Structure 1
Amino acid sequence: MNSRTEKLLITGPAGEIECAVDLPPEGQVLRGVAVICHPNPTQGGTMDNKVVQTLARAFVQLGYRAVRFNFRGIGRSAGAWDEGRGEVDDALAVIAHARDAALPLALAGFSFGGFVASQAARRLEASAERLCLVGPATSRFDTAPVPADTLVIHGEADDVVPLAAVLDWARPQALPVTVVPGVGHFFHGQLPLLKDIVLRGWHPA
Structure 2
Amino acid sequence: MLTRETPLMIAGPSGQLEALWLDTPDARGVALICHPNPVQGGTMLNKVVSTLQRTARDSGLATLRFNYRGVAGSAGSHDMVSGEVDDAEAVAHWLRAQYPELPLTLLGFSFGGFVAAALGARLEAQGLTTVNKLFMVAPAVHRLTEEYPPASNCPLTIIQPEADEVIDPQVVYTWSAALGRAHELLKVAECGHFFHGKLTDLKDLLLPRL
TM-score relative to the length of structure 2: 0.89
Counterpart residue type for residue 14 of structure 2: A
Aligned mates of 2:81, 2:197 — CA distance in 1 = 29
**Structure 1 residues 157-176: aligned runs within 5 Å:** 157-174=163-180, 175-176=183-184
Correspondence list, 1:54-73, <5 A: 54-73=51-70
State the SS of the aligned residue for 1:7. strand
- Give unmatched runs, 5+ long, in structure 1: none
Select which of 59, 77, 86 maps to 2:74.
77
In structure 2, the partner of 1:151 is 157
Tell me whether 1:41 sits opposite 2:38 in the alignment: yes
Q: Is the 8 A contact 1:9 1:18 kept in 2?
A: yes
CA contact (8 A) 2:49 2:109 kept: yes
- The letter for the 2-side match of 1:5 is E
1:114 counterpart letter in structure 2: G
2:194 to 186, 189, 194: 186
Tell me, in whole angstroms, the C-alpha distance in 2 between the residues paired with 1:14 and 1:146.
24
- Give the fraction of aligned pairs with identical amino acids, expressed as a percent: 44
The amino acid that maps onto 2:178 is P
For this pair of structures, how many residues does the alignment match? 198
How much has 1:196 moved relative to structure 2?
A: 1.1
Could you tell me how far apart the structure 1 residues matched to 2:103 and 2:184 are? 23
Task: Work out whether 1:86 is the aligned partner of 2:74.
Answer: no
Q: CA offsets per residue over residues 69-119 of structure 1, 9 Å max, x none?
A: 000000110000112211000000000001221111111100000000111
SS in 2 for 1:81: coil
Say whether the 8 Å CA contact 1:54–1:191 is kept in structure 2. yes
How far the C-alpha of 1:176 sits from its partner, in A, is: 2.8
Give 5+ residue unaligned stretches, structure 2: none
User: Which residue number in structure 2 is paired with residue 97 of structure 1?
Assistant: 94
Asked if 2 retains the 8 angstrom alpha-carbon contact of 1:145 and 1:173, the reply is: no
Contact map agreement 2:118 2:144 (CA 8 A) in 1:
no
Specify the alignment match of 2:47 in structure 1.
Answer: 50
Q: Secondary structure at the match of 1:20?
A: strand
**d(CA) in 1 for partners of 2:37 and 2:86?**
15
Q: Which moved more, 1:128-137 or 1:148-157?
A: 148-157
Amino acid of the residue matched to residue 137 of structure 2? V
Residue identity opposite 2:63 in structure 1 = A
| AA partner of residue 13 (structure 2) | P
Structure 1 vs Structure 2 CA RMSD: 1.7
